[in-house]
């Protein structure tokens, strides 16, 4: 698969690359990140390989990421319409203003107008609800989003970081009312964060919602730098918590060891194995990737060509299997036996519950 082997996003007519370029690192306003020249170099690299999906947000480097993206496409007439550009709303960039953020109509419309100015475009292809405010009726948010779609300022609607029940409610309300539905969802998902498999990913599959995972390298822990073998003492590095966004647990180190083993077998960096695993998951449409430097992005993009064997995927699956919230494991492990009692259904032979074995 290559970046120009496009995939359909959810129940829509929108096609995106298997990797989406995330821009959270664009700009150094937060004391880290990529200067504009490096950000433009990363856009060059991504687009040259056939990538067409770019993700940003109003909060990324306090709007600077959007300005960098806007300036880039403004300098290249005609290119903007060839890409899928998404941005997010919810974050408040105006301290003290109670209507500066959140998901209410007034806040959302103002955020969209500001984002369009920074992006130097008159529409965005996907407008993402970045989070949700329990005080705002979801009907208000979805109706307001439908209005901006009707006005031609937004093409499609997505949600990010919502619980499964709220995302399902948003989509159900929109479809019932004849408003623009939710076509895609962003969630954190990686070898070290698989709990979305409990409710979020099954809900998305049931509703026909495309999934774009963020954090596929778990804040850098899956970069290959933090396993025990990369510490001279043979134990976890003392600077792990400073160099990565999250601290590894003992269970995480067990996964990292398997990741390193498979990377050595495949002859590729651990980052590419971790990204290839996420991309191979059946629920995933396009994986969000980003970097601080162009060379990091190039290495990450190379993961699009990495194909793991079934055996390698199985080893990674086994090492990283999560404990899921009730009733996910109950439904997944117990229910099929109760329902089918040893019958073979859809190519799978199910076990006979112990109570039924005694009744035979």
Q: What is the DSSP string of 227-279?
A: SGGGSTTSS--TTHHHHSSSPPPHHHHHHHHHHHHHHHHHTS-HHHHHHHHHH
Convert the pLDDT of each residue in 96-121 to its tens digit: 999 999 999 999 999 999 999 999 99
Rounded-to-integer distance, Cα 88 and Cα 311, Å: 38
Intervals of the chain under pLDDT 70: 229-245, 355-360
Q: Provide the pLDDT for residue 236.
A: 43
Rounded-to-integer distance, Cα 357 and Cα 341, Å: 9
What is the number of helices (H) and of strands (E) in the chain?
A: 14, 12
Rounded-to-integer distance, Cα 173 and Cα 192, Å: 33
Which superfamily does 7-324 belong to? NADP-dependent oxidoreductase domain (3.20.20.100)
Q: Provide the pLDDT for residue 247.
A: 79
The ranges assigned to domains in the chain are 7-324, 326-360
Rounded-to-integer distance, Cα 324 and Cα 321, Å: 9
- Residue 60 appears among annotated catalytic residues: yes
Q: Provide the pLDDT for residue 358.
A: 64
Q: Provide the pLDDT for residue 341.
A: 85
Q: Provide the pLDDT for residue 359.
A: 57
Query: b/e string for 225-257 if b means 16 or more Cβ within 10 A?
Result: bbbbeeeeeeebbeebeeebeeebeeebbebbe
CB 351 within 8 A of CB 342: yes
Catalytic residue among 6, 46, 60, 127: 60
Helix (H) or strand (E) run with residue 337 in it? helix 335-340
Q: Provide the pLDDT for residue 241.
A: 42
């Amino acid at each position: 698969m290559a970046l120009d082997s496009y995939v359909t996003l959810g129940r829509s007519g929108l096609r995106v690359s298997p990797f989406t370029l995330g821009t959270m690192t664009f700009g150094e306003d937060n004391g880290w990140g990529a200067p504009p020249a490096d950000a433009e170099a990363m856009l060059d690299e991504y687009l040259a390989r056939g990538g067409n999906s770019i993700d940003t947000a109003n909060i990324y480097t306090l709007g600077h990421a959007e300005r960098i993206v806007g300036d880039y496409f403004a300098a290249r007439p005609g290119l903007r319409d060839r890409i899928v550009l998404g941005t997010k709303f919810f974050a408040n960039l105006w301290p003290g203003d109670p209507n500066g953020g959140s998901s209410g109509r007034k806040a959302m419309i103002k955020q969209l107008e500001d984002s369009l100015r920074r992006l130097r475009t008159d529409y965005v292809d996907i407008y993402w609800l970045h989070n949700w405010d329990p005080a705002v009726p979801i009907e208000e948010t979805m109706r307001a989003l439908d209005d901006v779609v009707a006005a031609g300022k937004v093409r499609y609607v997505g949600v990010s970081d919502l619980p499964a029940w709220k995302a399902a409610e948003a989509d159900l309300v929109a479809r019932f009312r004849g408003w623009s539905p939710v076509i895609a969802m962003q969630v954190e998902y990686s070898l070290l964060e698989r709990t979305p498999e409990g409710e979020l990913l099954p809900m998305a599959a049931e509703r026909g919602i495309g999934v774009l995972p963020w954090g596929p390298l778990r804040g850098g822990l899956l970069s290959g730098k933090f396993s025990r073998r990369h510490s001279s003492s043979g134990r976890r590095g003392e600077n792990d918590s400073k160099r990565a966004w999250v601290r590894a647990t003992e269970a995480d180190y067990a996964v990292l060891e398997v990741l390193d083993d498979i990377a050595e077998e495949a002859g590729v960096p651990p980052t590419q194995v971790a990204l290839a695993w996420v991309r191979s998951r059946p629920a995933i449409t396009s994986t969000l990737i980003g970097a601080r430097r162009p060379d990091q992005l190039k290495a990450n993009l190379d993961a699009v060509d990495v194909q793991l064997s079934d055996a390698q995927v199985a080893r990674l699956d086994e090492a990283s299997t999560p404990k899921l919230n009730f009733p996910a494991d109950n439904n997944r492990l117990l229910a099929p036996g109760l329902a089918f009692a040893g019958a073979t259904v859809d190519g799978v032979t199910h076990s006979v519950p112990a109570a039924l074995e005694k009744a035979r």
